[in-house]
Amino acid sequence: MIEIVRLTKQFDDFVAVDRVTLSVSSGEILALLGPNGAGKTTTVRMLAAILRPTAGHAVVAGYRVTEHPQEVRRQIGLLTEHPGLYLRMRGGEYLDFFGRLMGLDAEERERRAKDLLARFGMSEALGRRMGTYSKGMRQKMALVRAMLHDPSVLLLDEPTSAMDPHSAKLVRDAVSGLRHHRRAIVICTHNLAEAEALADRIAIIRRGKIIALGTPKELKGRLLGPPLIELHLAQPADGLVKLVSDLVEIETQGEDWLRYSTPSPQETNPRLLRMLTAQGVGVVTLSEVTRSLEDVYLRVVEE
């Protein structure tokens, strides 16, 4: 659905996006994760055929962004960082205007607007001037605008930035509801929880370059090493360290607990439990230590 090959954007002497290569298939949600100024918005603007790449190419919904920019813009829905609504307009008028620009007929415009507003719990907002909307409502209205023509590619640039947690959750819920087998979604964000919650794959971008790409699990495995397991025992762990160190690599230990890493927990953990049971050692808990995407992000970005 989206194919990007060595996409580059240079403003005078500043390289905003540097030879980015990635693809997003139908039904997939990709998060572009990176600090401010990393090149996320510039990448999205090139995918939306608003900015022209300096080098490389991008194919969106089957069309090259440089050769058929209008077709590309017809196929995509773009949610900008700021909702960018015309505040003197009523919600209905606003959606009608964008529906006309996207080539929808009157009946379809009305039907799609009503359906989407109902889906996002905004039906009552149709006749109100948008200047009276709350921040969350404005962002949801912008999302409805981006979805109005049922685009096959949805580009969401910082959909929840500068929003309070409640509004952000409303928008996140709305976005997760847009997942569809015929639609590719790209979300730009610097919100790690949002990326982990919504995305199938994450591309970490820094200074215009993709520095890590994969599913959250792959990224953790690749960048943080094998899974970390914590074992709590019913007795002091001192005598056991030597015993288990042949099987796993011990990272840290306490009086009655130890933490170890293993590349294949499916095989190692049952063997370890059998061995401990044979030795008559009581096991209180055995669980994987949760490692956040934040650890991955910080490690990658700091490198």
Partner 1 sequence: MIQVTDRPRWLRRTRAIDSEWLRLVFTLVRREVRDSLRDWRIVIPIVILTLFFPILMSFVADMALDWVAKYNAPIVGERMLPFLLLVVGFFPISFSLVIALETFVGEKERKSLEPLLATPLTDAQLYLGKTLAAMIPPLLASYLGITVYLIGLYFIKGWTAPSVLVVLILVLTTMEGLVMVTGAVVVSSQTTSVRAANLLASFIIIPAALLIQGEAIIMFWANYRVLWWIVLLLILVATILVRMGIHTFNREGLLGREIDQLNVASLWHTFRRYLMWERWLFGLDLRPPADGGRVPVWLRWLGTVGGLYGRDVPAILRRSRLAFVVVGVGLLASLFVGQIYAVHYPLPPGVLGLEQITADTFAEMPSIDWLPALTTWGVLSNNVRALLAAALLAMFSFGSLAVALLMAPLAIIFFFTAQAARLGYSPVLFFAVFVLPHGLLELPAATIATALAVRLGATLMSPPRGMTVSEGWIWALADFLKVFLAVVVPLLAVAAAIEAYVTPFLVVLAYGS
What are the two backbone dihedrals, phi and then psi, of residue 48, each rounded to the nearest 5 degrees? -85, 5
> Is residue 84 close enough to count as binding partner 1 by CB under 8 A?
yes
Candidates 13, 107, 246, 302; binder of partner 1 (CB under 8 A) is 13
| Nearest to partner 1 of 52, 274 (CB atom) | 52
H helical segments located in 22-121: 40-47, 69-75, 91-101, 106-119
| CA dist., res. 303 & res. 297, Å (int) | 10
Least Cβ distance, residue 52 to partner 1 (angstroms): 6
User: What residues contact 244, with CB distance under 8 A and at least 6 apart?
Assistant: 250, 258, 260, 272, 275, 276
**How many residues interact with partner 1 (rule CB under 8 A)?**
38
Q: What is the DSSP letter of 238?
A: G
Q: What is the DSSP letter of 89?
A: S
| CA dist., res. 100 & res. 17, Å (int) | 33
> Is residue 107 close enough to count as binding partner 1 by CB under 8 A?
no
267, 197, 259, 201: which is closest to 225 by C-alpha? 259
Q: Of 76-84, 190-198, 249-257, 270-278, which part binds partner 1 (CB under 8 A)?
A: 76-84
Q: Which residue has the tokens 């096959």?
A: 152
Instruction: Give me the half-sphere count of Cα atoms (radius 13 Å) on the Cβ side of residue 284.
Output: 11
Candidates 11, 106, 215, 282; binder of partner 1 (CB under 8 A) is 11
Decide: helix, strand or coil at residue 154.
strand
> Is residue 6 close enough to count as binding partner 1 by CB under 8 A?
no
Contact track, partner 1, 141-180, x by CB under 8 A: -x--x-----------------------------------
Q: Of 93-101, 242-250, 260-268, 289-297, which part binds partner 1 (CB under 8 A)?
A: 93-101
> Is residue 78 close enough to count as binding partner 1 by CB under 8 A?
yes
> Is residue 7 close enough to count as binding partner 1 by CB under 8 A?
no
Q: What is the DSSP letter of 240?
A: G
Amino acid symbol at 216: P
Candidates 21, 25, 35, 100; binder of partner 1 (CB under 8 A) is 100
Question: Of residues 23-62, which lie at the interface with partner 1 (CB under 8 A)?
Answer: 45, 48, 50-52, 59, 61-62
Kindly list the residues in this chain that would bind partner 1 in the complex (CB under 8 A).
11-13, 45, 48, 50-52, 59, 61-64, 68, 70-71, 73-74, 76, 78, 80-89, 97-98, 100-103, 142, 145
